[in-house]
Structure 1
Amino acid sequence: MRRVPYAWIEQARPGGVILTPWCDDWTHCGLLRLTVGEDGIATGRFTSDSAFMLMRTQRRDLFLFRDVVMDDHVPVESTTTLDPWAVADSPIETQFPLGLRLGDLWYAWDHDPGVDGVEIRLWVATADGGSWAAVDWDGTDGTAQYTVWQHGPRRVWDEVEAAHRWWLDNDRPGPERLGLTVTPEGQWAWLDRPEHAWPLR
């Protein structure tokens, strides 16, 4: 599941436990254990030891070159010192918290982008296809700076950099420090305690 249907909470008695595999657009490897409270709010923590196929109703029908990147897009060029492999080819202990923080962002590697001077390209895009970024590696060992192209109303690579800084600033939390609260109004992820929450996108 990407989201817990509130109907599950309504159908559970106070004290009831809901256990479900969890994923987001960034990574697919979590297990969520919620406990339903007397107030109709469910809260609980994640672990990172499960992986299942998404429910059919939770899947996205989105393709990079059909729905996201268009020929008439004019991206903005910049650079980054954040290694793309540090966020998109890292252990689950890194990717899971980043995914929960980033919410509706997903990524795809292109190992043959067909662009002069680009060996590998990392694509990052929003789940609605409205914004995207491409981070290029030229094949040079020990690269300290990468070229970034961004298009759309959101600067998604900036969001990735901010999420990575948040992860570093909070002592590199793993899945066991993360949780979720589900209410009739929405769903909030949190770090360590429910008071340290942000709304899921």
Structure 2
Amino acid sequence: MTSPESLADELSRSGYLTDRRWRDALAAVPRERFIPGTAVAVPVDGSPRYPIDRDVDPGTWRTAVYTDTAIVTQLDDGATDLTDGIGDFTSSASAPGIVVDFLELLAPMPGDQVLEIGTGTGWTSALLTCELGPEAVTSIEVDEQVAKDAAANLQAAGLAPNLVVGDGADGWAAGAPYDGVHVTCGVRTVPHAWIEQTRPGGTIVLPWRPGFGHGHQARLTVIGDGRAIGRFSHGSTYMMMRSQRPPAPAPDEGGDWRESSTLLDPRRVVRAEAGAHIAIAGLVPGLFGHGVDGGRGTFQLWLWDGEGSAARVAYDPQYTRCGVEQQGPRALWEEMESAYLTWVEWGAPGRSRFGLTVTTEGHRVWLDEPARPLPVPE
């Protein structure tokens, strides 16, 4: 049977749900109240996405609602009809497992004031409100229509947190100071406003998505001198904050491509453990990229930095060396190759050994302790 109770049981078995108060909140604010009748279900196990329609097939709709499944509620910032099912995901009800995992990571105490970045459907706001009370929760959403729908969902559920329409990157100074900031969208750069608006000792939990490879769950503690410091824990893939979406690769219009080759298989870099990708993010700032499998065992890797540098690396099982093409002021493949091999030289440390320090000057990734920041190229 699919119900709030069966969902809580599933999340408990998977290890996401360990705190009784969030189990109680799951029962108090059933997820079905925050899911539209028509949407796109995206299973967390990597299975193909599929459309759901409460009127046409209520059983499939309810199964998606009460299993650990993300449900996309908007495509292309609302420009594409959800019934088409094809487009960029731009708003969703996140999978319950990662929702509960972030709430347990935030670990708010009674009396805490929490700022949520990204209201979405309103379900996470509802869970926070159920636990802390409406006067303790402020949620900000950049998309007016998404915010309107969330407000209707929350009102129908009898809940009234403080809802704001605006850019979450600015936080919400009117409600500061906060004890916690709960971020429901991927960020590459932690806005300093969140640190300024959080009490010393307060917590910021967020999905850190630096631009290449894995996303990472981060828990930062605000120090009170303009800094926030914390470690990475688990993986986390969220839609990017709108103001921090990655730049598109530069159009390939010929240009001065420098040709070379490498013995390093780019697949080993792309498919490396999460720790490798954190090291690359720290050692090669501003890097974006993705890889694609081709026919006959081939593989292509594209890299770019949004400022005129780009690289292409081609693996073909018929050849010992991989072809490399680079353009622009930076040699992006060579920077990535060096960073990956440096990570190997360090003993291939895993995700949990890395952390992040955020200051007014920017970000620094560190290994094992904040006093050991990764070197940044001049």
Q: Same fold (TM over 0.5)?
A: yes
* Match of residue 332 from structure 2: 156
**Preserved CA contact (<8 Å) 1:120 1:139:** no
Alpha-carbon RMSD: 2.4
**Preserved CA contact (<8 Å) 2:355 2:365:** yes
Q: Deviations over 1:44-88 (max 9, x none)?
A: 1112332211111111241x3xx24222x1211111111100111
User: Which residue of 330, 346, 358 corresponds with 1:182?
Assistant: 358
- Looking at structure 2, the residues matched to 186 and 92 of structure 1 have their Cα atoms a distance apart, in angstroms, of 22
> How far off is 1:185 after superposition?
2.1
* Match of residue 21 from structure 1: 207
Q: Are residue 58 (structure 1) and residue 265 (structure 2) matched?
A: no
In structure 2, the CA distance between the partners of 1:10 and 1:89, relative to structure 1 (3 Å rule), is: same
* Match of residue 370 from structure 2: 194
- Which amino acid counterpart does residue 69 of structure 1 have in structure 2? D
- Which amino acid counterpart does residue 372 of structure 2 have in structure 1? H
- Which amino acid counterpart does residue 101 of structure 1 have in structure 2? L
Structure in which a larger fraction of residues adopt helix? 2
Q: Are residue 126 (structure 1) and residue 317 (structure 2) matched?
A: no
- SS of aligned partner of 1:7: helix
**Preserved CA contact (<8 Å) 2:246 2:288:** no
Q: Unaligned stretches of 5+ in structure 2?
A: 1-186
- SS of aligned partner of 1:16: strand
**Preserved CA contact (<8 Å) 1:46 1:178:** yes
- SS of aligned partner of 2:335: helix
- Looking at structure 1, the residues matched to 324 and 280 of structure 2 have their Cα atoms a distance apart, in angstroms, of 19
Q: TM-score, normalised by structure 1?
A: 0.84
In structure 2, the CA distance between the partners of 1:168 and 1:52, relative to structure 1 (3 Å rule), is: same
- SS of aligned partner of 2:219: strand
> How far off is 1:131 after superposition?
0.9
**Preserved CA contact (<8 Å) 1:179 1:189:** yes
Q: Percent of aligned pairs with the same residue?
A: 38
- Looking at structure 1, the residues matched to 316 and 214 of structure 2 have their Cα atoms a distance apart, in angstroms, of 29
Q: Unaligned stretches of 5+ in structure 1?
A: none
User: Which residue of 260, 270, 273 corresponds with 1:88?
Assistant: 270
Q: Are residue 109 (structure 1) and residue 291 (structure 2) matched?
A: yes
Q: TM-score, normalised by structure 2?
A: 0.46
- Looking at structure 2, the residues matched to 32 and 103 of structure 1 have their Cα atoms a distance apart, in angstroms, of 18
* Match of residue 323 from structure 2: 147
Ranked by relative contact order (alpha carbons within 8 Å, sequence separation 6 or more), the top structure is: 1
**Preserved CA contact (<8 Å) 1:177 1:192:** yes
Q: Deviations over 1:111-164 (max 9, x none)?
A: 569xxxx94432211133x11111122332xx5421211111111111011101
- Looking at structure 1, the residues matched to 366 and 205 of structure 2 have their Cα atoms a distance apart, in angstroms, of 18
* Match of residue 92 from structure 2: none
User: Which residue of 277, 280, 301 corresponds with 1:98?
Assistant: 280
Q: How many residues align?
A: 190
